Amino acid sequence: MEIKPTEVKRFFSKKRVLFIILFAALAFAAKKINFSALVGEPNQFFTLFQFFGPIAGSFLGPIVGGVSVLLTEITDFFIMGKAYSFVNLLRLLPMVFAAYYFGMKKKNAIGAVVPLVAIAAFVLHPVGREVWFFSLFWTIPLIVRILPDRVANNAVFKSLGATFTAHAVGGAAWVWAVPMTPEQWVALIPVVIYERLMFTGGIVASYLVMNTLLDRLAAKFRWGMPELHINPDWVISRKLFWQH
């Protein structure tokens, strides 16, 4: 199928490119701020990027959003001069799948396949088999997707599903890449609950702020932004915050 130059130009519109640049700039800054250390491997951290990375999937669509996150991760990888280790390369992927999950408008197979494959990969590992119940965390994205659409597409539930999708991809890779004991995995359970609830809240807040910012820019400069999928249900009321 031939792709016309006009279609490419329309796809890479100025507003979409502007969002990608803004998102990348925020991501690079956020990646400099550590939130918590990962167990089992030195000098590996969750950063503030975990608090808003998935929202790209909503504004750009699941595929473009996921690709944007991947390009951001790869660019940061080279700019920061990270080592070409197996762990560093694996860590490029979790947020990509989280962005895809957050951007889904309808139920689809990928939203279910990713956590299922992660669960299978985890329990196939000798250590993972001993602590199989740890992978029950990764049923959360599945449960969210089978809820009624009005619930599954709510930003709070999508944020919860997205952050546990990232956790599923990362956890399945981690058990094979990083030697850890069953006791260490069990000890992680309350940590996971705390961190993922924090990340869920951060994603929701980031989504609310970005929706509001883009809506305000569209109103102020009379821009049409259909390509950025602003959700009017998640815009802070102008009457409360911008009335003079």
pLDDT digits (tens, 9 = 90+) for 221-232: 666 666 678 888
DSSP code of residue 54: G
pLDDT above 70 for 109: yes
pLDDT given at position 222: 65
Q: What value does the mean pLDDT take over residues 146-160?
A: 90
pLDDT digits (tens, 9 = 90+) for 52-107: 899 999 888 888 888 889 888 888 888 877 767 666 777 788 999 999 999 987 77
The overall average pLDDT reported for the chain is: 83
Task: Find where tokens 């001993």 sit.
Answer: 130
* pTM of the predicted protein model: 0.85
Of 109, 173, 176, 188, give the one whose Cα is nearest residue 141: 109
Beta bridge partners of 34: 47
pLDDT digits (tens, 9 = 90+) for 20-48: 888 888 888 888 888 887 776 666 778 88
Alpha helices in 104-154 (DSSP H): 109-124, 126-130, 140-146, 149-152
Q: How far apart are CA 62 and CA 144, in angstroms?
A: 17
pLDDT given at position 12: 58
Q: How far is CA 72 from CA 16, 78, 206, 215, in A?
A: 15, 10, 17, 24
Q: Radius of gyration over alpha carbons of the chain, in Å?
A: 19
Percentage above 70 pLDDT, the chain: 84
More confident residue, 211 or 221: 211
Q: Identify whether the C-beta of residue 38 lies closer than 8 Å to the C-beta of residue 46.
A: yes
